Amino acid sequence: MDQLTRHPDDDPLLRDLRRVLRSTPGHPGDWVRLDDVHRGASALRRRRQAMVALSGAVALVAAGVVGAAALNRQRETRPPVTSTVSPTPTPTPSPTSSPTPSTSPTPQPSPSPSPTVALPADFRPLAFTATGSSTFWVLGRGGSCAGGCLALARTTDAGRTFTAVAPPDADPGSISDVRFVDRRDGWAFGTALWSTHDGGVRWTQVTLGGDVARLEAGAGTVWALTRTAGQPDTLWRSPTDRDDWTRVSLPADLVKTDLALQGGHLVVHGDTDAADVLLTSDDAVTFVRHAGPCDPALDGRLSAVAQSVWLTCATGTMAGVHVSTDGGASFRRVDLRIGLPNSVQAGARDAGHAVLGEPQTGLLLVDATGRVLATTPFGAGDVTSVGFTTPDVGYAVVDEGTTSRLLRTTDGGLHWSEVTVR
Partner 1 sequence: MDETTRQAFDTFARSRMRELLRFAHALSGHPDTAADLVQDALERTLAAWPRVLRKDDPEGYVRRIIVNRYVSRWRSVRRERLVADVPEAGYEPAEPHDAQLWAELARLAPRQRATLVLRFYEDLSEAQTAAVLGCSVGTVKSQSAKALARLRGQLAMASVGQESETTWTS
158 binds partner 1 (CB under 8 A): yes
Closest contact distance (angstroms) between CB of 419 and partner 1 is 6
Please, which contacts does 293-300 make with residues 24 or more away whose CB atoms are closer than 8 Å? 293/320, 293/322, 293/331, 293/333, 294/269, 294/320, 296/271, 296/272, 297/271, 298/256, 298/271, 298/342, 299/256, 299/258, 299/342, 300/256, 300/258, 300/269, 300/271, 300/275
Query: Please, is 390 exposed, middle or buried when counting C-beta atoms within 10 Å of its C-beta (0-12, 13-18, 19+)?
Result: middle
Q: How far is the CB of 27 from partner 1 (least distance, A)?
A: 4
Q: Please, are residues 244 and 254 in contact by the beta-carbon 8 Å criterion? A: no
Among 7, 9, 44, 285, binds partner 1 (CB under 8 A): 44
Among 2, 76, 169, 273, binds partner 1 (CB under 8 A): 2
> Quick check: 17 binds partner 1 (CB under 8 A)?
yes
Considering the complex, state which of residue 159 and residue 210 has its C-beta at the smaller distance from partner 1: 159
Q: Which is nearer to partner 1, 19 or 332 (CB)?
A: 19
User: Contact between 160 and partner 1 (CB under 8 A)?
Assistant: yes
Is the torsion defined by CA of 145, 147, 151, 156 positive or negative? positive
Choice between 241 and 367, CB closer to partner 1:
241
Distance, in Å, from the CA atom of 36 to the CA atom of 77, rounded to the nearest integer, reads: 60
Rounded to 10 degrees, the C-alpha dihedral 399/403/408/412 comes to: -30
Q: Which of 9, 76, 157, 169 binds partner 1 (CB under 8 A)?
A: 157
The answer to the question of residue 230 lying near partner 1 (CB under 8 A) is no
Contact 320, 294 (CB under 8 A): yes
SS3 275: strand
31 binds partner 1 (CB under 8 A): yes
Size of the site for partner 1 (CB under 8 A): 50
- Min dist. Cβ of residue 55 to partner 1 (A): 17
SS3 call for 198: coil
399 makes contact with partner 1 (CB under 8 A): no
Smallest gap, in angstroms, from Cβ of residue 161 to partner 1? Answer: 5
Question: Rounded to whole angstroms, how far apart are CA atoms 322 and 309?
Answer: 8
User: Per-residue x/- marks for partner 1, 130-149, CB under 8 A?
Assistant: -xxxxx--------------
Nearer to partner 1, 78 or 160 (CB): 160
Residue 18 touching partner 1 (CB under 8 A):
yes
Q: Closest distance between partner 1 and the C-beta of residue 270, in Å?
A: 35
Both ends of the chain: CA-CA distance in Å?
47
**Stretch touching partner 1 by CB under 8 A, among 91-99, 140-148, 367-375, 413-421:** 413-421
Q: What minimum distance in Å lies between the beta carbon of 392 and partner 1? A: 8
Task: Identify the residue among 72, 74, 114, 161 touching partner 1 (CB under 8 A).
Answer: 161
Taking CB under 8 A as the criterion, the residue among 23, 77, 84, 112 binding partner 1 is: 23
Residue (of 356, 353, 327) closest to 340 by Cα position: 356
**Contact set for partner 1, span 319-348 (CB under 8 A):** none
Q: Give SS3 for 259.
A: strand
Q: Is 29 one of the binding residues for partner 1 (CB under 8 A)?
A: yes
Task: Judge whether 211 and 219 are in contact, CB under 8 Å.
Answer: no
Q: Is position 24 an interface residue for partner 1 (rule: CB under 8 A)?
A: yes
Helix (H, G, I), strand (E, B) or coil at 51: helix
Q: Which is nearer to partner 1, 242 or 422 (CB)?
A: 422
Measuring CA to CA, which residue among 239, 126, 127, 241 is closest to residue 182? 241
36 binds partner 1 (CB under 8 A): yes
CB atoms within 10 A of CB 35: 11
DSSP H or E stretch at residue 364: strand 362-367
Interface with partner 1 by CB under 8 A: which residues? 2-4, 8, 13-14, 16-27, 29, 31-32, 34, 36-38, 40-41, 44-45, 48, 131-135, 156-161, 183, 393, 408, 410, 417-420, 422
